[in-house]
Amino acid sequence: MPRPEKHVFVCTQNRPQGHPRGSCTSSGCAEIMNEFMNEIQARNLFEKIALTNTGCMGPCMMGPSVLVYPDSVMYGKLKKDDVKTIIEQHLLGGEPVANLMVPAEVW
């Protein structure tokens, strides 16, 4: 398998209800992870984009969080429809989606 051009990490951290930090699970990360999987499969991008679920990446208040490497770009508060935009504009087009990125002081 060739080395992918991009690696997408989706936080799937789960914490108990009412935890002070919250969690990406309670923010809808499963829908984000599933949409990335569906889009990568539908577009046959397995050799270009790697997808990995991960634990906490830090900014729980910004969840669901997605991190793209090697670009070191973090996206937050994503909705299902944002996944297509990230794939088309950033992962395939090379231009990070500025309005979906977490603030610089967070990442």
The pLDDT score that the predictor gives to residue 20 is 79
Arithmetic mean of pLDDT, 73-89: 98
Nearest to 103 by CA among 79, 83, 75, 65: 75
Give the 3-state secondary structure of residue 70: coil
Band of residue 22 on the pLDDT scale cut at 50, 70, 90: confident
Report how far residue 77's alpha carbon sits from residue 25's, in angstroms, rounded to the nearest whole number: 12
How many residues comprise the chain?
107
pTM to 2 decimal places: 0.93
Range name among 13-27, 29-43, 58-72 with the lowest pLDDT average:
13-27
Nearest to 68 by CA among 44, 92, 43: 92
Arithmetic mean of pLDDT, 7-31: 88
